[in-house]
Structure 1
Amino acid sequence: MSKVLILAGDFSETLEVFYPYERLREEGYEPVIASLEKKRLQFVVHDFEPGYFTFTEKPGHGWDADIAVADVNPADYVALVIPGGRAPEYLRNNPDVQRIVQHFFGADAPVASTCHGPLILAKSGVLSGRTSSGFPEVAPDIESGGATYEGGQAVVDGNLVTSRAWNDNGPWFGAFIKLLRERAPLA
């Protein structure tokens, strides 16, 4: 079975982890969750409620990471998924996370990123000359990373598919699955 790596951590957005996880399983790929440590992770639910200037955050599901990023050999995986939430704020600073991301871009392998996930792409130095979506508040980070920000629900630029947030899961991951079938078809 072809494996797809999902970079997640404490306070990753629940819907941005589980939707890709289950869609990958449905397609016949094996999703593998990597984090800073192999431990139980606490995900969150971000919601947009009236009266607030930004999203609210509530506890989501807990889930076990399958592998620590230090132990990841990215060549063992056909694609990469980077959910949002608050986890990308600290994951982006980890050298192993950057190593993993750089591998997938160097190999021109499929990469999906949503919400705050492009923070990791920008810090990893892979956005130069690209077009990327993401949560609107991370647009300056995307642009500082050398990319053009486009606030779309499924922005495809070569091997990269990005979106704004969990509200875009269907179009975003549909575009990613199409790319995955083309570039890493199941045997």
Structure 2
Amino acid sequence: MLVGDFVEDYEVMVPFQALQICGHEVAAASPGKKAGEVIRTAIHDFEGDQTYSEKRGHNFQLNFDYASADAGAFDALVLPGGRSPEFLRLDQSVLNIIRAFAAAGKPIAAVCHGPQLLTAAGVIANRRISAYPAVKPEVTAAGAEYVELPVTGAVTDGNFVTAPAWPAHVEWLKQFNALLG
């Protein structure tokens, strides 16, 4: 799980715990940080405004050193949304990790703004991808078909499982877990 400061609170906390409940070992890492350090989260909510609102969330403790991150050592990748993808996509090492997972055909789950990392890595051409609606221009510019879904929906295309926002956790994680076996 690649995360950074102001990742969406639910989109990091819920998958981190739910995947462990399903029996998966989850390593959460952030560029420049080590296991035991924390990142700050943001809570995004849908309150009837033109877009989501943003409030300060919890501190999330990392359990893996980013410097040790090697795509070959993991079975899958999770990319939560929130604010962190907009700056993580500027880190070449993050993009290289994503490209390695994609090249190996390993399952990749991205939610909300998480697909910004997929677009920046250049790995979704000719795929069906969902994301938060504001990310649609980036998804289509990357050569993918943007899939409009209810906020509780998710779509799987090959090794990619994507969804528009945290209300899709049940469907998104169900589809991702199916890829994990």
Q: TM-score range by the shorter chain?
A: over 0.9
Instruction: Name 2:126's counterpart in structure 1.
Output: 129
* Counterpart amino acid of residue 38 in structure 2: R
TM-score if structure 2 supplies the norm length? 0.93
Do residues 48 (structure 1) and 43 (structure 2) align?
no
Do residues 78 (structure 1) and 75 (structure 2) align?
yes
Do residues 140 (structure 1) and 121 (structure 2) align?
no
Greater shift after overlay, 91-100 or 34-43? 34-43
Helix, strand or coil for the counterpart of 1:122?
helix
> Structure 1 CA distance, aligned partners of 2:32 and 2:60?
12
> Structure 1 CA distance, aligned partners of 2:86 and 2:21?
30
* Identity percentage of aligned residues: 39
Instruction: Name 1:22's counterpart in structure 2.
Output: 17
The alpha-carbon deviation at position 68 of structure 1 amounts to: 4.5
CA RMSD of aligned residues (A): 1.1
Moved over 6 A (4+): none
* Counterpart amino acid of residue 96 in structure 1: S
Map Cα deviations across residues 61-98 of structure 1 (whole Å, 9 max, x no partner).
10122334443111111000000001000001111111
Instruction: Name 2:168's counterpart in structure 1.
Output: 168
Map Cα deviations across residues 122-180 of structure 1 (whole Å, 9 max, x no partner).
00010111110000010000011110000232110000000000011111111100111
Instruction: Name 1:11's counterpart in structure 2.
Output: 6
The alpha-carbon deviation at position 19 of structure 1 amounts to: 1.3
TM-score if structure 1 supplies the norm length? 0.90
Instruction: Name 1:34's counterpart in structure 2.
Output: 29
Instruction: Name 1:3's counterpart in structure 2.
Output: none
> Structure 1 CA distance, aligned partners of 2:8 and 2:53?
12
Matched-pair contact (CA < 8 Å) for 1:36–1:70? yes
> Structure 1 CA distance, aligned partners of 2:68 and 2:89?
17
5+ residue gaps, structure 2, are none
The alpha-carbon deviation at position 108 of structure 1 amounts to: 0.4
CA 1:68 to 1:95, structure 2 compared with 1: closer, same or farther past 3 Å? farther
Matched-pair contact (CA < 8 Å) for 1:151–1:163? no
The alpha-carbon deviation at position 23 of structure 1 amounts to: 1.4
